[in-house]
Amino acid sequence: MSDPVTVAEAALLARDQEQSPWQQALVLVVSGGLTREELVARISERIGYAPRFRRVVTGWPVPAWVDDANFNLNGHVSQSTLPAEHRLEDWLAEQLARPLPRSHPLWEVTLVDGLALGTQAVVARVHPALVDGYDHIHLFQELLDDRPEEVAQTDADDWQPTETTAPDLTALIAGISDPLAAAERLSAGVFGMLENGVRTLTAQPRRHYLGGVEIELEAVDEVRRGFGCTTHDVLVALATAGVRGWLAEQGRPLTDEVALVPLAVTEPQVLASAIGCRIAPSFDRLPVTAITATDRLEAIATITGARRDSGLSVPARDLIGLAGFAPATLHAVAAGALGAGRPHTVVLTNVPGPREPRYLGRARVRQVFAVTATSDAEQLSIAITSYRGRVSLAVAAVAPVTSWSASISAELDALRNEL
């Protein structure tokens, strides 16, 4: 099958350059002795729910997603061992510097051995353009289950591509009821690819430094109850402290950085979509210059309170209750929200996950976090993910970020001491 490259997808594809790759990594830390063969077999079973993961972009002058006639699942799944004395974050930073080849579907999964306490990491590097949250979900939304199970060893994948050429221009226009929308989608695909060519000549190499910290959700809830705010408010305040610490670490002046904060908003016409809502960009000034932790939290609560009063925000409990492992899709769709809007230096995404354990085959998922490469003027990309009573705050920065964990832990302690 094939479908046209949309305006948003063309813009996202244009951000991904050979010298400065733009992609997202979803990381599952698991225990239970997962093998590469089991991982390949599970992906083979479930990849049909995410057809984009077998497609490439081709066609001119109307770019489209088409089935990859040479698709080989084994070529997308590898196994690696973490070198001794090497942090997972450092290994992952090296992977984010590697572009995903455009000649194949834009994703890759690696099973990483050698982590502490006999755990492994399943790392999925994916271009966010593969996922729209409507018709196209993240492969990992369907890969996990709520109980352990043996993965059946299957024969070779018998999938066959159905169409490997771009759609006919006349048929494409006829398939869209709004002529203006049709023209917009067609021209965007063309100009998006042209933009991609220009950016190839101008993009500068960019190195990422990763940091992360995991905290107890109960500690966050304690602060939420004490200050009468929301969990989201507390987590944004903690992330703001991380930004503040990073600026100080780099010897930069403390300024209230503009952050893109993608938010789930209600939209009745998309309630039947994969995530039942739309992810809309919101731009907030993080109160980095506020003197105390309490001042920073109260400033954030004031900003988000007005938005909640509008009635458009989707409660976290609704996102937690989505079918499958929704954080995978939500993080990818949120990454795509950067395509338009005002200039910003920080991206801050908060995605709630399930409270109950999830399993990849017989391997139990112990921890989940995501990280998205920065783009353009962005200095920090922050991804917050909750799972089983704990919250991971991961960051990709354009300069070393050794203060991240200490800054967030100190901020949480300061807020709890004020109760």
Distance between CA 169 and CA 137 in Å, rounded? 26
Residue pointed to by tokens 């203060």: 403
398: three-class secondary structure by DSSP: coil
DSSP state of 268: G
Distance between CA 218 and CA 221 in Å, rounded? 5
Query: Cα–Cα distances in Å, from 400 out to 89, 251, 289, 389?
Result: 12, 12, 21, 29
Residue pointed to by tokens 């990491």: 121
* 378 CB-contact burial (10 Å; exposed 0-12 / middle 13-18 / buried 19+): buried
Architecture of the domain spanning 2-202 = 2-Layer Sandwich (3.30)
Q: What pLDDT, on a 0 to 100 scale, did the predictor assign at position 116?
A: 84
Q: What pLDDT, on a 0 to 100 scale, did the predictor assign at position 317?
A: 59
**Straight-line distance from the first to the last Cα atom of the chain, in angstroms, rounded to the nearest whole number:** 57
Q: CA 80, 85, 87 angle in degrees (round to 5)?
A: 65
Q: What pLDDT, on a 0 to 100 scale, did the predictor assign at position 99?
A: 92
Distance between CA 137 and CA 115 in Å, rounded? 29
110-143 pLDDT, tens digit per residue, is: 999 999 888 999 999 999 999 988 888 999 999 9
pTM comes to 0.88
Residue numbers of the chain with a pLDDT score lower than 70: 1, 60-61, 154-157, 163-203, 266-277, 306-324, 339-341
Same fold, 2-202 and 209-417: yes
- Point out which residues pair with 283 in neighbouring strands: 260
32 Ramachandran zone, left/alpha/beta (phi>0; psi -120 to 50)? left
Q: What pLDDT, on a 0 to 100 scale, did the predictor assign at position 342?
A: 80
Strands 380-387 and 390-397: antiparallel
Query: 393, 388, 413: which is closest to 405 by C-alpha?
Result: 393
Distance between CA 30 and CA 112 in Å, rounded? 10
Peptide bond between residue 315 and the one before it cis (omega within 30 degrees of 0): no
Q: What pLDDT, on a 0 to 100 scale, did the predictor assign at position 171?
A: 46
Q: What pLDDT, on a 0 to 100 scale, did the predictor assign at position 162?
A: 84
Q: What pLDDT, on a 0 to 100 scale, did the predictor assign at position 259?
A: 95
386-419 pLDDT, tens digit per residue, is: 999 999 999 999 999 999 999 999 999 999 999 8
Distance between CA 275 and CA 373 in Å, rounded? 23
How far from chain centre, in Å, is Cα 305?
25
Q: What pLDDT, on a 0 to 100 scale, did the predictor assign at position 134?
A: 80
Q: Is the dihedral of CA 227, 284, 17, 207 positive or negative?
A: negative
One-letter amino acid identity for 289? T
Domains of the chain by residue range = 2-202, 209-417
DSSP state of 50: -
CB proximity list for 58: less than 8 A, separation 6 or greater: 64, 66, 164, 165, 166
Peptide bond between residue 61 and the one before it cis (omega within 30 degrees of 0): yes
DSSP state of 377: T
Count of other CB atoms within 10 angstroms of residue 26:
26
Give me the CATH topology for the region 209-417.
Chloramphenicol Acetyltransferase (3.30.559)
